[in-house]
Chains A and B, each alone.
Chain A
Amino acid sequence: MREPDAQPFGLSVALRQDAPIPLDVDLSVAPGELMALVGPSGSGKTTTLRAIAGLYRPLHGRIACNGSVWFDSTAGSFVPARQRRIGLVFQSYALFPHLTAIENVMEALGDLPADQRRDHARTLLERMHLHDMDDRKPAQMSGGQQQRVSVARALARRPDVLLLDEPFSAVDRVTRRRLRRELAEIRRDLPMPVILVTHDLDDVTRLADRVCVMDRGAILQRGTLDDVMRQPANAKVAELLDLLPDEA
């Protein structure tokens, strides 16, 4: 097995298994870099994301972030999700439905002293342009607003890696553009590795520094979008990129 370099900064991931879900993934993302994972459903994108988050334990591989090892199958080490510093934005947002917006964010601030959590959470919500929404329940907010609470909650962890699982799939076009812009702002302020799973070629064009094309658990090609578009490694890659919906 080829070990990824144990870089002191950034994220390196190597995953391999044949079953139950085949995986053959090697990737590394530098701090401040946004890597897009694209591919048809069932291609292993979300499984890869869950493995990085510590929500799924593959059979073989190694995951390291900023010099600390989160998972190493040869050493038998596995850091559980709650001990990794992960910001994960779910496709469903996965907000706690019985808690208000601010309580949702505060739940990710468990490492702060109790009296600082509320102020900190409010700052994060305001940074996501959510004003006067503190006491609303998720059901009382629009999809875009829920999405922003979800991002604020992910950032509240002060994550070493930000993981976005098809974050824009459930919002309308206008909201999507605005969310993209906000994500770009966050990246400017917080230089951490970001992995974005998406179906949307437009997301990739506007946000991604590099793109990984996946199919059946394996990476077919990686590089800048330009490179991949101009020189698809094989017919499959070209076909997959062709299938991606293009918003423009």
Chain B
Amino acid sequence: MDWDALWLTLRLGVVTVAILIPLAMIVGRWLALTHIRGKGLLEATLALPLVLPPTVVGFYLLVAFGSGSWFGQTYQKLFGHALVFTFEGLVVASVIVNIPFAVQPVQRAFESIPPDLRDAAATCGMSWWRMIRKIELPLAWPGILTGLVLTFAHTLGEFGVVLMVGGSIPGETKTVAIAIYDRVQAFDDVGAGRMALLLLAISLVTIALSYIFTQRLGRRYA
């Protein structure tokens, strides 16, 4: 069992969620409420990672972050090491490929709040923050949780992008999904099987938890 890879994968999932979910709450709520022109185009752009092959995303990230690019060189100057093939690079890639998994459920959740409730909150004299905290977040919570779980689970399983921008550096960019691939190539079916089983179990538990949460909350707010 490659504990390094497991720990790294869990860390990647948590960091991705911690960065992406707050962003998704801001962007998703804004998209749910706005009527600007070009909204459809914007939504389509954010949904792109859903349909793009991970290798396409990986390729563009390599081009954008690699040491040949302006961004890659600036990053190298600032931090003393390249962004690709590091944990930070993996986080950036993971955040980007997970955008639709986080934003869409959150946006749907905010969209499903009747606009009358926001008006009612305003006529009740509630401040904007209080309305967010007391009305919108509790009502949107199941959607936010769904986004969180999908993002986390998807991060655990992401392979193509991770392989391309991360390489397979133990303790740095070698996630469980990559470790399984490596184990298979090393003719270590037992090791691969153990890790595959673990990943399966974690994914199952995560999804089950989200269903339980959502159902319980659904009952609470019924």
Q: Check whether chain A touches chain B (CB < 8 angstroms).
A: yes
Q: Which of chain A's residues 128-162 have a Cβ closer than 8 Å to chain B?
A: 137, 139, 153-154, 156-157
List which A91-148 residues lie within 8 A (CB) of chain B.
92, 94-99, 107-108, 110-111, 137, 139
A81 touches B139 (CB 8 A): no
Decide if B80 is an interface residue (CB 8 Å cutoff). Answer: no
CA distance A84 to B125 in the complex (A): 8
Interface presence of A223 (CB below 8 A): no
Min distance, Cβ A88 to any Cβ of chain B, angstroms: 4
| A27 in contact (CB, < 8 A) | no
A108 to B114, CA, bound (A): 18
Main secondary structure of the interface of A (DSSP, over half): loop
Q: Which residue of B lies closest to A153 (CB)?
A: B124
What sequence of 0s and 1s flags, for each residue 76-98 of chain A, a beta carbon within 8 Å of any chain B beta carbon? 00001111111110101011111
Asked if A237 CB lies within 8 Å of chain B CBs, one says no
Are A90 and B125 closer than 8 Å at their CB atoms?
no
Minimum CB distance partner of B221 in chain A:
A98
B116 touches A108 (CB 8 A): no
Q: Chain B contact residues (Cβ within 8 angstroms of A): what range?
A: 20 to 34
- Is there a chain A Cβ closer than 8 Å to B26's Cβ? no
Shortest beta-carbon distance from A195 to chain B in Å = 14
Given A94-B116, A97-B139, CB of A157 within 8 Å of CB of B221: no
Name the residue on A nearest B131 (C-beta).
Answer: A82
Contact between A98 and B139 (Cβ–Cβ < 8 Å)? Answer: yes
Is there contact, CB below 8 Å, between B127 and A82? yes
- State whether the Cβ of B220 lies closer than 8 Å to any Cβ in chain A: yes
Q: Is B123 an interface residue (CB 8 A)?
A: yes
* Contact between A108 and B125, CB atoms less than 8 A apart: yes
- Among B114, B134, B221, contact of A92 (Cβ-Cβ < 8 Å): B114
Residue ID in chain A nearest B217 by CB atoms: A98
Partner of A98, one of B119, B125, B138: B138
How far does the Cβ of B187 sit from chain A's closest Cβ, in whole Å? Answer: 55
Residues of A within 8 A of B19 (CB): none
The distance in angstroms between the C-alpha atoms of A137 and B116, with both chains bound, is 17
Q: Tell me which of B114, B123, B125, B139 has the highest count of chain A C-beta atoms within 10 A of its own C-beta.
A: B123
Q: Which A residues are CB-close (under 8 A) to B123?
A: 53-55, 81-82, 84, 86-88, 108, 154, 157
Contact surface of A with B, Cβ cutoff 8 Å = 50, 53-55, 80-88, 90, 92, 94-99, 107-108, 110-111, 137, 139, 153-154, 156-157
